Amino acid sequence: MGKITPIPSFRAPLVRLSTSEHLGCIAVDISFGGDDGVTSSAISQMLCCKWPDTLALTTVLKALLRSLGFGGGKKQSLGRYAITLLCAAWAKEQHHKRLDIGSLFMGILDYITNHDSKSNMVTVRFHHPDMPRVPDGSSLVLIEDPVTGKNAAHAVIKWSDIKAKLRRARDQLQALLSDPRPQSSILSAVITIKDEEMERWRRIEQLGSDWEQKRAPRVR
């Protein structure tokens, strides 16, 4: 049987997970005051199933943010769930255009770098990803959780830095568009995606195909 032991002497939340030998490999989802991990995972599966480009966009954007120094779950960056919601909102609006991943990714970089986060929030609940937000100053960027209505990006503290670095990355990629190679090949030459990251998203893609049978949370 597994056992989780809190370690209170550390500033950051830290726990030790102990398991019996007969359990073998197990998956663990632990959340400290943030999004419900199980719920957000189910929503991510649903979005990747409903708008398949969400999966590719999320994987590439997460890899780019990591290469720019905003990866690894750091507080100043966007978390995996917020990135998924952001990419789903963009993929939903672009779905009818049938664009390749290179064009889609350039489009989402344009969207992010030009997004007016003081006046608008990002949401997947409507056709267009931008909707007016109340300028309360409580967060630098608002990416709405479609089930709870909460801000999935509430912890981001370096939004302006993220936008500035993504803008430079977009300009560098734009300069490569004259390259005769397919745009997907150009992206792979610029951005490194970890094998374990791809494996995770392959699992999500498989799970997403039967999200309706699993009673995934309903989008508001």
Residue 5 counted as domain residue: no
Q: What is the pLDDT of residue 71?
A: 74
Contact 123, 89 (CB under 8 A): yes
Residue 102 counted as domain residue: yes
Residue 85's closest CA among 113, 110, 108, 114? 108
Distance in angstroms (rounded) separating the CA atoms of residues 113 and 16 = 40
Residue 7 counted as domain residue: no
Contacts of 109 (CB under 8 A, 6+ apart): 166, 167, 169, 170, 173
Residue 14 counted as domain residue: no
Structure token digits, residue 90:
């963009």
1 versus 119: the higher-pLDDT residue is 119
**Rounded to the nearest 5 degrees, what angle is found at the Cα of 116, between the Cα atoms of 176 and 55?**
55
Contact 101, 184 (CB under 8 A): yes
pLDDT > 90 fraction of the chain, expressed in percent and rounded: 21
Residue 12 counted as domain residue: no
Q: What is the pLDDT confidence band of residue 2, given thresholds at 50, 70 and 90?
A: low
pLDDT in tens, 143-180: 999 888 889 998 888 899 999 999 988 888 777 766 66
Helices (H), the chain: 37-50, 53-67, 80-94, 101-114, 159-175, 183-190, 195-208
185 versus 111: the higher-pLDDT residue is 111
Q: What is the pLDDT of residue 111?
A: 94
Crossing angle of helices 80-94 and 53-67, in 10° steps, is: 130
The DSSP H or E segment spanning 17 is: strand 15-18
Residue 36's closest CA among 129, 144, 147, 125? 147
Residue 192 counted as domain residue: yes
Is 50 exceeded by the pLDDT of residue 1?
A: no
- Report the chain's mean pLDDT, rounded to a whole number: 75
Residue 19 counted as domain residue: no
100 versus 72: the higher-pLDDT residue is 100
**Domain that residue 55 falls in:** 36-208
Q: What is the pLDDT of residue 211?
A: 47
Domain count, the chain: 1
Residue 151 counted as domain residue: yes
Across the range 114-128, mean pLDDT stands at 88
pLDDT in tens, 42-67: 888 888 888 889 988 998 898 889 88
Q: What is the pLDDT confidence band of residue 192, given thresholds at 50, 70 and 90?
A: low
Any idea what the CATH number is for the domain that residue 202 is in? 1.10.1410.10
Neighbours of 110 (CB within 10 A): 15
